[in-house]
Amino acid sequence: MQNPRDMLITLPNPHLRQRSKRVGVITKDIHKIVTDMEVTVIDWENSRDHEVGVALASVQIDQLFKIVIVRNDYDNKEDRTFKVFINPSITKYEGELVEDFEGCLSIQDIYGKVPRYPKIHLKAMDIEGKPFKLIAEGFLARVLQHEIDHTKGIIFIDHIRDLKDAFFKLNSEGNLEQLDDKTVQNNHILW
């Protein structure tokens, strides 16, 4: 098996900016991609002192399919199980946009204050190919919007590129420190 650290792609890899394909049939290969995604999140988390791996889109392991996994209990680091969303699609957004912090496994140590809808309606298939619908609120709604963006080739920084005071860096103590605008705009890795 490939080392999980070798599977995770990060900016400036151009594949992160590509649109993912719909999954037509759930095959053994799709099951393997999901397993690789889960292993990658846990391995990443094990390598971090102050962060929890919450979710991943398959493009982040260089598999351009509309597959997203979200940790079942992101408040409990011991729970290492995930819900699978295949071909996820948001059918409705509700509420006023709310800004909150987001990070991404594919952008090391950079966080941003990103506007997202507080409530979404979503449809997807599970790993067995059964369709389901979900209404997500709060943090889960934010996570799903972030991951579904990945399937469209959009990264959270794209939403805040022109906003001053929206970017932060995680320091060695696990605290967020604001980055100055010039440092962000001139960052060849991000853009």
> Could you list the active site residues?
147
Q: In what order do the strands lie in the sheet with 176-178?
A: 98-104, 107-116, 167-170, 176-178
Residue 44 is given by DSSP the state H
For the chain, the distance separating the N- and C-terminal CA atoms, rounded to the nearest angstrom, is: 32
Amino acid (one-letter) located at 69:
I
